[in-house]
Structure 1
Amino acid sequence: MTSKIYFENLKIYAFHGVLPEEKMIGTYFILNVEIHADLWKAVGTDDLNDTINYAEVNEIIHNEMQIPSELMEHVCGRILKNIKLKFPQITFIKVKMSKTSPPMQGEMDGVSVEIEQDFL
């Protein structure tokens, strides 16, 4: 059985970007993370040890967002890697990261990068 866990529209202020002002001023980033794992045991046991601890995943995301990087791809990769290291039972992870105020011409809601990996 595959179950899915979603972190939806997690808003974090951080300092990622290539331009010097992005590293000094920062902006909001929106993260969406999808995790697949067999969580059927937790359905019956009601035991935190039988599932993916959402609070620990949230902490991994926040910790990685505090490390300034030039590329969103790099941040997404670190988030994905560290979630998988903490929870080896995960079979799939998708991380989408959106920069809400990219320093570019034109009016937009943001620019996003999405990476995913299947561990089957």
Structure 2
Amino acid sequence: MELLSIGEAAKRLGVHPNRLRAWEKQGLIRPVRLPSGQRRYPVEEINRILGTGGIKAESDAVVLYARESTKKQADAGNLERQMERLRVYAREKGYCVVAEYSDVASGLNQPSGIGTGA
């Protein structure tokens, strides 16, 4: 039985290693645990997923956020182009976009700390 590391398995499936961990918790994929506790994925398990067209888990909900540093950049359409690239990426990856946010502000002019509550 050929076993793949989590990185190798994720690459073959075209997903992030965290997705494999989530699928394991949901019982959608069954890795083999080594005595060290590391996961190894049987090639047969990867082929099973690829052969069925992938795992149909809950849709991944995402929020899109685009930011420009100056109003001049936003007025030039940079903000909208950035948001459109995010939309395309989300669509290609099968994400469900639940909200979109954009911001025009310079980090130099913002108060320190994360989040403004706006």
- One fold, TM greater than 0.5? no
Higher gyration radius (CA)? 2
Structure 1 or 2: more strand by fraction: 1
